[in-house]
Amino acid sequence: MTRYQRSVRAALSTAAALSLLAGAARAQEALAVVGIVADPGHFNPAITTGSHVHTVADSMFNGLVALDEDLQPVPDLATGWEVSEDGRTVTFTLAEANWHDGIPFTAEDVKFTFEQVLFEHHSRTKAGLGSVVESIETPDPRTVVFKLSAPHPALLRRLDVTEAPILPRHQWQDVADIPAATLPPIGTGPFRFESYDKDAQVVLVKNEDYFKDGLPYLDRLVFRVIKDAATQLIAYQQGEIDFISLEAKDVEAVESAGDSTILRATSGPGGGNCIMTVSFNLEREATGDPRVRRAFARAIDRERINEQVLFGQGKVAAAPFSSAIGWAHADGVLAGLSHDPEAARALLAEAGHDGGLTLDMVHFPTFNRYAEIMKQDLAAAGIELVSRPLDREATIDAIFKQRDFDTNLISYCNGVDPEIGIKRMYISSNIGPIPFSNAAAYRNDRVDALFAEAAAVEDTGARGRIYREVQKILAEDLPYFWLVETVRTAAHKASFEGFRPWTGQFAEEAKPVD
């Protein structure tokens, strides 16, 4: 028996034991088991955009708004809102809700969360709203008023549980170092925290006091950590898991089995409209040279990545912004970076590396296949790529705190508006130790100014023209290289209905089929 077979058997034995317990519970309560490939590490969704945290934590929290299947804002903790004629004042009426510890939710919780947490630690919200919101007023416990420096068309769609989860002020106000704190999660969401067995499972239970009448339907939601995707798939096929995110290569087999519902979405916990993106460390000599960055890009066969990693279910990125944001997308702006190993070699020689060059790449282990293909492509052009797969916390530390990398690979989720998921990657004020911020340490005053200008323009056509100018600059400067756009594919057993893969609160309406 090989080491791999032993590890698979051990993982399945553990899963089987847990499955027996789950089976007994199913007879008495509505239970769903969700497979996840990474331990969340913590349960504070307001300090990170990482999907490993949001996949679990978002079910315990709420935003002011939620997003429907068309990614349009609908009420959540805010039951309604009113925008002033000049677009600079937005008034929210809040729901009557309680925190999981029984203390009432109020406007002060909203004010505290934005001012003390989101604007300090959440890369997308800090970059997109930190300089736009002049003040947050709380005239009474059920009303919160955002005063803006200028109209902000993207505001409502960036206030959901993924972009702006609300935390309890009474739990966090006296915490000196919020990112380092590991407090038990207390939210207003459909599920409450029950237990956490690191690298094994997280158990949530129904919030009986949820402010949305009749929800949730499930009594218990269990997240089971199985880090190997193949092992997790076997557990799903054996009925030990009810909901799973699928790798592209496994979709056809699961669909053909006939006992599952396949769900596809461009968004999900952690963000949406994602592009697999190479970041170059612009503070290092080699990758600080635009000729080296262009050589790297010309060496990569992105069509091959789409076919061999995504099995044709994604698409080669045609611009720095996702094509799903059509009104802002600069289609074809990357045409000059097509696969050409000879051109890559010439650029390397011009940069003084005609004898070759060695670069490292930091990435999550789940991205190993991307790194393998790029390593092969780059070798043909004279670049040796040293793959450095690290666990999530080590990856974040190496990239955003220690800046110990030449290149890295990140799935940057663009969101439904450039203000939400894109701006944070490029503006110079977002360089720092915040996860999934400006990894390249890119600085361009013109790009900063254009993003600021676009944020205050209400006309979509005018905003689109500004963003297309931004993308032309980015394609020339090349602080990043945009590989492929990805689509999230999930599956759940046909014995369930109501899962919503496009939102962090994906199980809020899930239930067993009668």
Fold annotation for 3-36+190-266+490-512: D-Maltodextrin-Binding Protein; domain 2 (3.40.190)
Please give the pLDDT value at position 226.
Answer: 96
Tell me what pLDDT residue 192 has. 98
Structure confidence at residue 10 (pLDDT): 44
Segment 295-354, tens digit of pLDDT: 999 999 999 999 999 999 899 999 999 999 999 999 999 999 999 999 999 999 999 999
Instruction: Measure the N-to-C terminal CA separation of the chain; round to a whole number of Å.
Output: 43
Q: What's the confidence (pLDDT) of residue 11?
A: 45
Give the length of the chain: 514
Cα 319 from Cα 468, distance rounded (Å)? 9
Residue 26: band (very low, low, confident or very high) from pLDDT cuts 50, 70, 90? low
- Burial level of 421, CB count in 10 A (0-12/13-18/19+)? buried
> 313 Cβ partners below 8 Å, 6+ apart?
248, 251, 487, 489
Question: What's the rounded Cα separation, in Å, for the pair 227 and 365?
Answer: 10
Section 473-497 average pLDDT? 96
Residue 426 has pLDDT above 50, yes or no: yes
- At residue 402, the pLDDT reads 97
* Residue ranges per structural domain of the chain: 3-36+190-266+490-512, 65-172, 271-485
Considering only residues 182 and 478, tell me which one the structure prediction assigns the higher pLDDT.
478
Q: How many CA atoms lie within 13 A of 245 on its CB side?
A: 24
**pLDDT top residue among 154 and 289:** 289
422-447: average pLDDT: 95
Q: Based on C-alpha coordinates, what's the Rg of the chain?
A: 23
pLDDT band per the 50, 70, 90 thresholds, residue 12 = very low
Note the pLDDT of residue 5: 35
pLDDT of 27 reads 53
Is there a shared CATH topology between the 3-36+190-266+490-512 domain and the 271-485 domain? Answer: no
**295: part of which helix (H) or strand (E)?**
helix 290-299
Q: Which CATH number is 65-172's, of 3.40.50.720, 3.30.450.20, 3.90.76.10, 3.40.50.300?
A: 3.90.76.10
Over residues 273-300, the pLDDT tens digits come to 999 999 999 999 999 999 999 999 999 9
Q: What is the pLDDT of residues 53-112, one digit of tens each?
A: 999 999 999 999 999 988 889 999 999 999 999 999 999 999 999 999 999 999 999 999
Q: What is the DSSP letter of 103?
A: P
pLDDT class of 1 with cuts at 50, 70, 90: very low
Which whole number is the average pLDDT over 253-280?
A: 91
**Phi and psi angles of residue 141, each rounded to the nearest 5 degrees, phi first:** -60, -20
pLDDT digits (tens, 9 = 90+) for 356-399: 999 999 999 989 999 999 999 999 999 999 999 999 889 999 99
Q: What does the mean pLDDT of the chain come to?
A: 92
Domain 271-485 in this protein, CATH class: alpha beta
